[in-house]
Structure 1
Amino acid sequence: MRPFWLALGFLTTFPVPRLGPVLPGEMRSASAFYPVAGYCLGGVLALAAWLTQALPEGLQGALLLALWLGLTGMLHLDGLLDSADALLAMKPPPERLKILSDLHLGSFAFGVGFVHLLLKWQLLASGPSPWLLLCLPAVVRFALLVPMNLYPAARPEGLGAGSREGRIGLALLFALPAMVLFPWQALAVLLAMLLLARWAARRLGGGLSGDVYGALVEIGESVGLLVGVWLRMH
């Protein structure tokens, strides 16, 4: 159970047993349980959507967004903001890597963050299916493992980098039910995350960082919600 608890504790704010120091290679094993951690997150979101369905759409969307951010500790949002400052800067790759390490936020972070949160709020206010809310986080966290293993780590010291070269086959097995239920969302999420990862790797000199992993998760979730809205309209 330790790999599961490591994945849950890394990706969410759910309480987990005291695990002590993370040993070398443990995050690779934990990466197989990323989709399971996604189901845990999605289960709470789906339940919250069902309990708040009588509220006005805008208010329900805001509450779901706040819950989503709280359950992830804003880990992925922080990665999106840092990545925006670094990847959009007109600097060479080594300077962009330094920007990723800077704790301060610049104008790119505020602009991208505002637009992203506004879009995600509107997508949640559109009333996505609780089943999609259950499955989407699992799909995204499996899809994350694909670019994570395709591109080297730009900064090998982080826990995200330690998750590379894990048991992606087992992760696929866990994510498969969600992908079967929502195949178009899963395809769109994977393509969007691969395209963003390719662009980010070129901007950073060939590798990806933990901040970029967070950005990929945020963008993947919004793409999945957007495709869900589009399918309901057609």
Structure 2
Amino acid sequence: MKAFLLMLSFFSRIPVGHRVAYSDDLYRQSIVYFPYVGLIVGGISAVPLWLLQNTSHGVRGILVILVYLLVSGGIHLDGLADSMDGLFSGREKERILEIMKDSRIGSFGVIGLILYFLVFYQCASEVMPILILLMPFVGKSAAAFTAGYSDYARVSPGMGTVLINSHTPKTSIEILVINLIIAFIALGFEGLAMVAMTFILAFFLMKWIHGKIGGMTGDTIGFVVEVCQMCFLLIATILY
């Protein structure tokens, strides 16, 4: 329970951090719960869809986004913007890593965030509540899946080091199987297709990032989380 609460305090704004003292060992133990934080974030984010079924789709979409940002703290959006700036800069590895560490946002980061919120708004206005519930779980699971096939790209350790080093191809397959089972129970064969396509996308994203910087970082993990969340919703919107 302490390990789960620690992970929840890291990747959400739910006030549970005071209930557990941080330690490196406990953080390593908590990594296994990284995807499951998404179920809590997704469940709370889906509340506007459940409660306001007679409200206009546009208003419900806006409320879903606002609740998601409040609960998650938008923690992976920084990684999305930083990765967009670095990976699309056309520079060599060391310069890309420098750009990703820069606290300032560039044009590609702005473009990435605009596209992200356009997709999020459109899909959140249309999909069933269960898909919003599953969205952060599938996105975080897909990123954890890629960690099992990745190396850490930077010389000095960072926030993504433990997550990447804690996963192996075996744990990645376990994560995929768990997602497929949950998706099938919740959504049937369409759910299997959504998860399978999202994980395939995550794998190819990871390979593309490896080609750019030779591995993954905390920023690129966040990038994969957010891109896969939106792709999951896009696929769901098409299938439903």
- What amino acid maps onto 1:178 in structure 2? I
Give the Å deviation of 1:150: 0.9
Is 1:225 the equivalent of 2:226? no
Q: Provide the secondary structure at the position in 1 that maps to 2:157.
A: coil
Instruction: Identify the range of structure 1 (112-121 vs 156-165) with the bigger mean alpha-carbon deviation.
Output: 156-165
Is 1:203 the equivalent of 2:212? yes
Give the Å deviation of 1:231: 0.7
Gap change, CA 1:213 and 1:203, over 3 Å in 2: same
Give the Å deviation of 1:159: 2.6
Give the Å deviation of 1:39: 1.1
Give the Å deviation of 1:116: 1.6
Give the Å deviation of 1:136: 2.5
Q: Distance in 2 between matches of 1:190 and 1:72?
A: 22
Give the Å deviation of 1:83: 0.5
> Percent identity among equivalent residues?
27
Give the Å deviation of 1:21: 3.0
Q: 1:101-180 alignment to 2 at 5 Å?
A: 101-126=101-126, 128-155=127-154, 157-166=157-166, 168=171, 175=179, 177-180=181-184
Gap change, CA 1:178 and 1:45, over 3 Å in 2: farther
Higher RCO, 1 vs 2 (CA within 8 Å, ≥6 residues apart): 1
Q: 1:3-82 alignment to 2 at 5 Å?
A: 3-18=3-18, 19-24=20-25, 26-82=26-82
Q: Which runs of 5+ in 2 are unaligned?
A: none
Alignment TM-score, normalising by the size of structure 1: 0.90
RMSD (Å), alpha carbons:
1.9
Q: Distance in 2 between matches of 1:229 and 1:77?
A: 22
Alignment TM-score, normalising by the size of structure 2: 0.88
Q: Distance in 2 between matches of 1:172 and 1:198?
A: 17
Q: Distance in 2 between matches of 1:22 and 1:149?
A: 23
Q: Distance in 2 between matches of 1:165 and 1:179?
A: 27
Q: Distance in 2 between matches of 1:194 and 1:28?
A: 23
Give the Å deviation of 1:175: 4.1
Give the Å deviation of 1:171: 5.1
Alignment-derived partner of residue 88 in structure 1: 88
User: 1:83-102, CA deviations, whole angstroms, 9 ceiling, x for partnerless residues?
Assistant: 00000002110000001110
Give the Å deviation of 1:54: 1.9
- What amino acid maps onto 2:160 in structure 1? G
Give the Å deviation of 1:113: 1.2
Gap change, CA 1:175 and 1:165, over 3 Å in 2: farther
Q: Distance in 2 between matches of 1:74 and 1:222?
A: 14
